[in-house]
Amino acid sequence: MQTILLLFLLGIVLLFLDLFVPGIILSVAGTFALLAGTARAFQEYGIGGGLLTFGIGMALLAITLYVEYWVLPKTRLGKKFFLHTAVEGTSQMPSDQTSALTGRHAVALTPLMPSGQIEVDGRRYEALSLDGHVARGAKLKVTGMQNFSVTVTKLS
């Protein structure tokens, strides 16, 4: 009985400590401790005792997760560990902006070998030169979009 209680206590403590330590190691160890406690209960007390222990383990797990993810984030200590704001933005320009850039003139802010930074109407963009190496300050023309960058060619 003491072994089962110690394994359950160890499992709950490891699952709670996982909040403060990066990675998944403590979660896995805590889960295995709970499963080992349940398996030990099946060995010692049979199916009835094992199922009762399993139910108690699930209830303890639910309580621990409730405290960890719903109660703790609202405390002063929890506010230091949880992210409460969202970052707005996109990784790629909307297609209407991309089509508006096509055909416009640009200036190379950095050497394009074949990628670098360009400026179109005072805004910086990541660009890919279809003509290979382009020197800094060269005049360019936007031809389209490829992956996450604007494609450009040298002006003749």
Q: How confident is the model at residue 92 (pLDDT cuts 50, 70, 90)?
A: low
DSSP 7-60: HHHHHHHHHHHTTTSSSSHHHHHHHHHHHHHHHHHHHHHHHHHHHHHHHHHHHH
Asked if residue 132 has pLDDT above 80, the reply is: yes
Q: Is the pTM for the entire model greater than 0.75?
A: no
Mean of the per-residue pLDDT values of the chain: 87
Calculate the CA dihedral of residues 91, 95, 98, 99 and round it to 10 degrees. 180
The pLDDT of residue 93: 64
**Architecture of the domain spanning 96-154:** Beta Barrel (2.40)
Distance CA 68, CA 17 (A): 10
Structure token digits, residue 133:
């190496």
The pLDDT of residue 44: 92
Q: What 3-state class would DSSP assign to 152?
A: strand
Asked if residue 43 has pLDDT above 80, the reply is: yes
The pLDDT of residue 118: 94
What angle separates helix 2-17 from helix 25-66, to the nearest 10 degrees?
Answer: 90
Backbone angles phi, psi at 89, to 5 degrees: 145, 170
Residues of the chain within CATH 2.40.50.140 domain(s) are 96-154
Q: What is the mean pLDDT of residues 42-61?
A: 90
